[in-house]
């Protein structure tokens, strides 16, 4: 069985959408100890840290670990700490181009694969009332950059380059290239 080493419900939904059989378990890793301002380095170090911990927990199983960040070009927009932080993070994306960067590590049949993917979005300016409703909904909680390209942000997308799955936390299209038909329901 493929083990998704993540507590993310969005990553689990992606695997289900692509009909990949998996179980979801995670191992502790403190990503707050990773100190870098480079979003690519950050997401790579955090995802690899999670992956190393999961390799200790699950010695022989096939596993996948991932992490995602949002960057507005000048800063890493991580998960919001509270509603006010979510508003600040979302306003940094409103009317701008952002990169959503996901790194994943996979151990499949004893081999290790790592990759970093990005999806670039150009957003229209967010409507103030719509933004307040989204903040009140709490749907932003636990999301990198408080961003939901499959939800709130979808109607503001002007341009996109890359896979939506990458922006949702796991580039499933690339994962399928690694695992082939293994673990996939037909």
As annotated, the active-site residues are: 67
DSSP β-bridge partners for residue 66: 104
Q: Which two tokens stand for residue 27?
A: 């191992």
Structure-token match 């996979």, residue found: 106
Beta pairing, strands 62-71 & 2-5: parallel
Query: Cβ contacts of residue 54 below 8 Å, gap of 6+?
Result: 3, 5, 26, 27, 63, 65
Strands (E), the chain: 2-5, 22-25, 62-71, 76-77, 97-108, 111-123, 157-161
């Amino acid at each position: 069985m493929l083990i998704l080493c993540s507590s993310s419900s969005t990553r689990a939904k992606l695997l289900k959408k692509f009909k990949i059989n998996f179980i979801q378990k995670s191992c502790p890793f403190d990503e707050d100890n990773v100190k870098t301002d480079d979003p690519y380095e950050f997401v790579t170090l955090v995802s690899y840290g999670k992956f190393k911990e999961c390799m200790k927990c699950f010695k022989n199983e096939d596993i996948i670990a991932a992490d995602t960040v949002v960057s507005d070009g000048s800063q890493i927009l991580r998960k919001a700490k509270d509603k006010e932080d979510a508003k600040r993070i979302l306003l940094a994306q409103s009317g701008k181009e952002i990169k959503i960067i996901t790194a994943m590590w996979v151990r499949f049949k004893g081999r290790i694969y790592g990759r970093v993917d990005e999806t670039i979005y150009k957003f229209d300016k967010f409507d103030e009332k719509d933004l307040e409703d989204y903040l009140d909904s709490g749907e932003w909680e636990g999301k990198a950059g408080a961003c939901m390209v499959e939800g709130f942000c979808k109607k503001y997308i002007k341009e996109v380059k890359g896979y939506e799955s990458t922006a949702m936390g796991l580039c499933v299209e690339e994962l399928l290239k690694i695992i082939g038909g293994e673990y996939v329901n037909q």
